[in-house]
A and B are shown apart, each in its own frame.
Chain A
């Protein structure tokens, strides 16, 4: 109705709705994830976790009010900039960290495409057969390191620069395994469009079972790409204070924390699309008769479970040493992904 008043073309208004829903979804899911992380860590470590903040002094809802309190606090904190920092870069660094994290979601289909009054609607921001396909999230994921690098360098702090250097070396090393494991998947599908990948999985089963080695490499490399434990070397609080965001305070720090959680969501969405069948519903192969909302629910359930796995792993595994990180990246993950690629290619030509 509002769209009728704005008199937008149906394609344009559909696009607008999709953009708003997608960005709103990512922004709204990220803060509760911080709550899941804090309460989850408490659960895993046999603590109680945050439960003091209360709305109007009464309503505590399992510490959910802490999310609101944190947000408010970030906004009202004094905005400090170190004396010798590069001011311009210091200002744009949080945006550079946040925007690539947000952009990666654009090609992920969240549900089955459906037809309504003759036009086909796709539930992904960018329509299929755009030629970019799943190369797009990989490209954007590669840009995410600049947020860390710029933040680290601009704060002109030795801890920060150490963190930035670690991050850049880590990202470059793990992108190889990431790319090669995805290439093996593309070769088997015969295409690289997310819709195509999902339809292939609806017909022949999830890639989690068909390429377990590729899944393992991709999964581990995603942890490295999102800078999460056991690979959070850019922060490494017991070694280099807080790494790249040592000097950041107030909402700048808030934005960087938010970027990390948006990154987790997008990484989970990628893993779901590539290896867990995307929006397909398990134990049922009749792809055309699924209700659209059921497919969306299926996608969301998988997504949220994987987000929980990210939290779970963080509070279960300790951090690697830096040389162990490089060893795992170059001498284990990279050869494993090469083996995976060669074996799959051989299997196809057999």
Chain B
């Protein structure tokens, strides 16, 4: 099961990156999100899986495809001024990101405790637990994200509406 979802995720992510047609690439991104949702379920966190599908696949990508259809830009366009060193910076940053996350995951205590004692069945995370957790242990980051969203909403409105 893990392999199936992991392959779905990675395969469609790669296909998305190499696809020239923007709409088909967007559909591959949907497949990637579904694969990630499957991985969340295997981690017995169905709430995150549902939110992943509702928010990303169900709303954000639909809006994205809507904009692409509206602008009628179906093919990838060549970059206007190609900064040749940009791609090397991106490559370096990508390697740092992947390497860093691998090191961090290998050092994590949860993983070590899992290798010492096997866990057979974990009760799935419920929405109630998640909400309680968000309002107690992570309340500051929750509020900061809320503020950030508010700021970006106001920014979007002020960009579009010339006369308030």
Contacts and interface: CB of A to CB of B under 8 A. Distances in A.
A149 B68 CA distance: 12
A167 to B, nearest CB: 9
A261 to B, nearest CB: 22
Contacts of A164: 69
Q: Give the interface SS of chain A, mostly helix, strand, loop or mixed.
A: helix
A133 to B, nearest CB: 8
B50 interface: yes
22 contacts: A86-B21, A86-B24, A89-B24, A131-B46, A131-B126, A135-B54, A139-B53, A139-B57, A142-B62, A143-B57, A143-B58, A145-B62, A146-B27, A146-B62, A161-B69, A165-B66, A168-B66, A172-B59, A172-B62, A172-B63, A175-B59, A192-B127
Interface string A224-268: 000000000000000000000000000000000000000000000
A139 B66 CA distance: 19
A135 B127 contact: yes
Interface string B39-53: 001001111011101
A190 B127 CA distance: 10
Interface in B86-135: 123-128
A135 B66 contact: no
Contacts of B66: 165, 168-169, 172
B156 interface: no
* A-B interface, 3 closest residue pairs, ranked by CB to CB distance from nearest: A142-B58, A131-B124, A135-B50
Interface residues of B, number: 31
A154 to B, nearest CB: 9
B53 A142 contact: yes
Chain B CB count within 10 A is highest, among A135, A140, A175, A179, for: A135
A168 B53 CA distance: 16
A216 interface: no
Interface residues of A, number: 33
B70 A165 contact: yes
B23 interface: yes
A142 B54 contact: yes
B75 to A, nearest CB: 12
Interface in B15-49: 21, 23-24, 27, 30, 37, 41, 44-47, 49
Contacts of B27: 89, 146, 150
Chain B CB count within 10 A is highest, among A131, A161, A165, for: A131
Nearest to A186: B127
A171 to B, nearest CB: 6
Given A131-B126, A132-B50, A139 B70 contact: no
Contacts of A186: 127
Nearest to B59: A172
A112 B37 CA distance: 30
Given A168-B62, A169-B66, A130 B124 contact: yes
Nearest to B69: A165
Contact of A138 (B30, B46, B50, B125): B50
Given A142-B57, A192-B127, A132 B62 contact: no
Contacts of B46: 130-132, 135
B6 interface: no
